Amino acid sequence: MFDVFEYKNQKRRICSMLKKGFGIKYLLAALAFLLIIPVFAPIKAWGGAPLTTITTITDTDLGDGSQLYFFWDLRGRESFFQLTNTSNKKITVHVQVFNSATGCSEFDFFDTYSGNDTHLYNVRKLDSNDGNLTGPPSFNNGFGFIVVSFGADSDTGLTGNFRIIDSSGYEYRTNAADFEDFSDVGDRETLATNVYTFNFNDINGISLSDVVGIVVDNSSVDTNTITESSAPTATFSPILVNEKEAVFSCPPVKFSCATDLGINQAIVNSKGAASICSDTNTTGAVMLTLTSDFSSGRFIVGFIGLNDGAGHGTMDTWWANGGLPPPPPPL
Amino acid sequence: MLKRLRLKFMLMASLMLVIIGFGSLDRAQGAEVCNGIPFNIGWIDLGVSTRSDFTAGLLGTIESFKGSNVAGLDWLYNDDSSLNTTEVGSQLISWWTRKNGRDSIIQVLNTSSSKVNVHIQILDENCAEITDFCDSYTPVDTVVYDLANLVTNVGQKISTGALAGHEGVIVITPVNNCPNGRKAIRFNFLQGNLRVTNSGADEYGTNVYARTAQGLCIAGATTTTTICTFDSDCQNFCLSGTCSVSGGQCTVDSDCPQGFCGSSSSCKTLDGTSGCKLNAVRPRDLNGNFSTLPGSAGAGADLVLISLKDNYRPSYAAVAGSATYSPGIFDDQENFQSCPGLNACFTRLGIDDPFPASENFAPATPSPSPSPSPIACTKNSDCPSGFVCLLPTPSGGTPAPGVCVPAPKPSPTPTKKPSGGGGGGCSIGGPVEIGTAMANVLVPLVPAFAIGFRVLRRRSRKNQK
């Protein structure tokens, strides 16, 4: 059976190439493809990427978190996030809520967790684990990101997840994203990258998306306090590839605070924001290559949410191709 | 006459004991890992003991909330490795299911500029391979596998009959050739995501697990024979006390500060030796958070645990592994309960009483399915999770189709809440069902019953003579 498969496979591809081989369209597509591939593939050369255009990959698997990032959204949605202190020590964490709908305005408070403690926060009715939070502002119709910090790089044992429930009856849920410093590359807890990817398909009526990019300035994350006052941004050069390996180049896209975009004209943004690409492919993958030339490093967390607007939806983090050399330590 | 009757009774009792015993000793899929515990917000913590090459778990919950069934899933946190679901890898591993009205859709992306052959194994609940096939990906190729309608990237239709009504693990491994050869290769460029759809209007989705493969640090300069302790003593690498162009094991280039990570000349295909194998994933702890939301009208869960071994020869295959799990559960008041241990290559369980296994979750509210009409059916498997097929009473002629209705909630088995066993509730053993306890005592006596039966039969024969 497999011999037949292999034969048919080869024959199908040879026939297809012969049919299209002399078409100008095919030639142009092939040239575009060849130009794109080196960008899509991870850069192998030592020192191949400018130091200012690489970031560390966020982790959602190792339960040693010390600074966790959550997406939240109250635009016809309810948002909850759960935080757990898996260590047996009492800790105090700094919780910062950034609202993209109001210019990345910040509300923050401190909260206390005993060992093995866990708490579910409701963003619409924010309370604290220790019961000391009073008078949080209204976040109605807002969206943004939340950072919970206990020493940005101290392997504390924080874990968490967030749950965004849309009024149309679906949920976006995923583990929180942990901050990783360039120094963690040596510890093998993260890798340096400049390429992120995510997949999409329209099976079972998926037609809406939330491509969420959160950007913070590395210089502020080594403390317990993130600052967005300098409005750090990250610019990517996006490429979309469909399931037939046809490549679509898209204009540069900028993420700042927590930016929420659509994929293309087939899988548009859930809340009416612009799409990254203008094609109409319903299945494929998007590759985002970092092109910013920022003076200090950026930490980037990306989430991709897909839904049908009628009760089905999922979310998880962007993928990355790591392995670039980290920048030299500061003098 | 009386003797014969007695013999028949003994035989029947033995058979029943065997049936009850096997049913209870096997931690049936669909049970709860912490039966009898009422925590609705908390986190589950599983101690893990294993010699398998890959052990991981996922936790998903479904919940009736504001008239809808909402659901979410992600991998359990671990204490062993990072970037498992955010960094591309050489082997993709995921849960799949076609049980209880569910289907699984897995999308894979080859992020490399090279073509690759892959071997795809679909293992069932017992980690036995029930389907496998070859596929190939061109550079930057993406393919969607719908396990109810399986078509390869090159257009070959794959039979899915064996998958219906089952679940288990799907493993996608880059290989040198397929179907011949099928030796695993180092190809750390794959990523993918899983969607578990359900006609009951809930949906799970998560990135799949990407397992990386090891290589060796390679420089490219001339080998020297300088005695060394660290890499910095050499032009290239310090390997076994001597400077070499090849260094220690690595996964990516940044693991090799003086070179790049590649496959050594003796590692054309992965053979399981150091620097030439898939990285082992052997956590000692797995944990995950769970919660019901304010106003929740019931919930269900899928705690999925997977343990596999690598078999590199003659061809690569992921085969059944085994892990022993020691679960415990915390609530949001830091109350802890330990729960009975379990051992499995694959299992799917509920969490505790508020989170029974998803198939035992009966949606308290009508599903907000886009189709307003009732779902027609002819058998239970046509219906979504938590529903059964209600067929009309036959009145002659052609039987009319039935409709899916919520399944009656099973009456809860009376269970004793664990006393904790002292030490702040850290009992060594957790709650045990009466059936399990009886079976544990009586099943070992089955051979004695059998011997007794034989002795009595011999006596009755002698008496007849």
Assembly ipTM: 0.86
Residue of B83, B104, B114, B117 for testing the chain A interface, max A β-carbons within 10 Å: B83
Smallest CA–CA distance from B107 into chain A, residue:
A199
**Cα distances (angstroms) measured from residue A200 to each of A254, A283, B93, B194, B462:** 20, 6, 19, 11, 77
Q: Please write down the HEC assignment for all residues of B69-108.
A: EEEEEEECEECCCCCCCCECECEEEEEEECCCCEEEEEEE
List all residues of chain A from 53 to 92 with a beta carbon under 8 Å from chain B: 57-64, 78, 80, 82, 84, 86
H or E element in which residue B11 lies: helix B2-25
Backbone angles phi, psi at A14, to 5 degrees: -65, -45
Chain center to CA of A51: 21
Q: Does A46 touch chain B (CB under 8 A)?
A: yes
- State the smallest CA–CA distance between residue B364 and chain A in angstroms: 14
Nearest to B118, CA basis, from B86, B95, B152, B149: B152
- The answer, yes or no, to whether the previous bond of B408 is cis (omega within 30 of 0) is no
Token pair listed for B326: 């020691």
The share of chain A scoring above pLDDT 70, in percent, equals 81
* Residues of chain A with C-beta less than 8 angstroms from the C-beta of B285: 63
Give the C-alpha separation, A226 to A217, whole Å: 8
Residues of A in Cβ contact (< 8 Å) with B257: 325
Q: Chain A, 161-180: which have a CB under 8 Å from a chain B CB?
A: 161, 163, 165, 167-175, 180
Share above pLDDT 90 across residues of chain A, in percent, rounded to a whole number: 65
Q: Which residue has the tokens 């990906």?
A: B137
Q: Does B370 touch chain A (CB under 8 A)?
A: yes
DSSP state of B279: P
Looking at every residue in chain B, the average pLDDT score rounds to: 80
- Interacting residues of B461 by C-beta distance below 8 A, sequence separation 6+: none
Which residue among B138, B144, B254 places its CB closest to the CB of A245? Answer: B138
**Selected residue of B82, B115, B137 to mutate for chain A interface (largest A Cβ count, 10 A):** B82
Determine whether the interchain pair B206/A2 forms a contact, defined as Cβ–Cβ distance below 8 Å. Answer: no
Q: Does B109 touch chain A (CB under 8 A)?
A: yes
More confident residue, B199 or B9: B199
Q: How large is the average pLDDT for residues B404-423?
A: 37
Antiparallel, parallel or unpaired: β B142-146 and B77-78: unpaired
Which pLDDT score, from 0 to 100, does residue B23 have? 36
A330: helix, coil or strand? coil
Q: How far apart are the first and last CA of chain A?
A: 62
Average confidence (pLDDT) over A300-329: 90
Predicted confidence (pLDDT) at residue B445 exceeds the cutoff of 90: no
Any B CB within 8 A of A42 CB: yes
CB B301 within 8 A of CB B350: yes
The contacts of residue B189 (CB under 8 Å, 6+ apart) are A42, A321, B88, B90, B110, B111, B112, B114, B116
Q: Which of B463, B459, B449 is nearest to B9 (CA)?
A: B449
* Min Cα separation A28/chain B (Å): 17
- Dig out the tokens for B424 from the structure: 């702040």
Contact B75 A60 (CB under 8 A): yes
> Does the beta carbon of B413 lie under 8 angstroms from any beta carbon of chain A?
no
Give the nearest partner residue to B260 out of A38, A46, A321, using CB atoms. Answer: A46
Token reading at A289:
């290559």
3-class secondary-structure state, position B115: coil
Mutate to test the interface with B, among A167, A175, A208 (most CBs of B within 10 A): A175
Task: Give A79-135 as a DSSP string.
Answer: EEEEEEE-SSS-EEEEEEEEEGGGTSEEEEEEEEE-TT-EEEEEGGG---TTS----
Q: Which residues of A touch B139 (CB under 8 A)?
A: 37, 40-41, 245
Torsion of CA B10, B13, B19, B23, to 10 degrees: -140
**Does the pLDDT value for residue B449 go beyond 60?**
no
- CB of B111 less than 8 A from some CB of A: yes
* Residue showing tokens 């390679």: B218
**How many Cβ pairs within 8 Å bridge chains A and B?**
278
Helix, strand, or coil here: B347? strand
Q: What value, to the nearest 5°, has the Cα angle with vertex A306 and ends B114 and B138? A: 15
Residue A199 in contact with partner chain B when CB distance is under 8 A: yes
Q: Where are the alpha helices (DSSP H) in B227-328?
A: none
Smallest Cβ distance to A114: which of B139, B289, B334? B334
Among the residues of chain A, which ranges form H helices?
A: 2-20, 24-40, 183-186, 218-221
Minimal C-alpha gap between B449 and chain A (Å): 49
DSSP line for B302-330: EEEEEEEEEE-SSS-EEEE--EEEEEEEE
| Residue B52 clears pLDDT 70, i.e. is over it | yes
A121-135, B202-216, B415-429: segment of lowest average pLDDT: B415-429
- Stretch B92-97: mean pLDDT: 98
> Of the given ranges (B151-160, B270-279, B423-432), which has the lowest mean pLDDT?
B423-432
pLDDT of B395 reads 38
C-alpha to C-alpha distance for B190 and A40, rounded to whole angstroms? 13
Is the entire prediction scored with pTM above 0.80? no
Tokens of B15: 């058979």
pLDDT value of position B202: 86
CB neighbour class for B285 (10 Å; exposed up to 12, middle 13-18, buried from 19): middle
Average pLDDT over residues A246-273: 97
Which of helix, strand or coil describes residue A189? coil
CA-CA distances (angstroms) from residue B93 to A252, A326, B54, B96, B330? 33, 29, 10, 10, 29
Averaged pLDDT score across all residues of chain A? 84
b/e string for B447-459 if b means 16 or more Cβ within 10 A? Answer: eebeeebeeeeee
Contact A250, A239 (CB under 8 A): yes
Average pLDDT (A121-149) is 96
Per the structure block, which two tokens stand in for A146? 């939340």
* pLDDT, average across residues A205-229: 88
Q: Does B457 touch chain A (CB under 8 A)?
A: no
Q: Is B335 exposed, middle or buried (0-12, 13-18, 19+ CB in 10 A)?
A: middle
Give Cα separations from A157 to A223, A318, B15, B75, B349 (angstroms).
17, 23, 50, 16, 25
| A62 chain-B contacts, CB cut-off 8 A | 77-82
Averaged over A235-251, what is the pLDDT? Answer: 96
Q: Which residue shows structure tokens 């028949």?
A: B8
Q: What is the pLDDT of residue A306?
A: 98
How far apart are the C-alpha atoms of B82 and B86, rounded to whole Å? 9
Q: Positive or negative CA dihedral for B60, B61, B65, B70?
A: positive
Chain B interface mutation, best of A314, A315, A317, A318, highest count of B Cβ atoms under 10 Å? A314
Q: How far is CA B339 from the centre of its chain?
A: 19
DSSP SS3 for B440: helix
- Residue A323's CB is within 10 A of a number of other CB atoms, namely 25
**Which pLDDT does position B381 carry in this prediction?**
64
Encoded tokens for A73: 């959204």
- pLDDT for the residue numbered B270: 95
Nearest by CB: B260 against A44, A59, A61: A44
pLDDT at B213: 93
Give whichever of A149-158, B174-183, B430-439 has the largest mean pLDDT: B174-183
Q: Grade residue B266 by pLDDT with cuts at 50, 70 and 90.
A: confident
- Closest Cα to residue B350, out of B23, B69, B44? B44
Q: Please give the structure tokens belonging to residue B85.
A: 């679901």
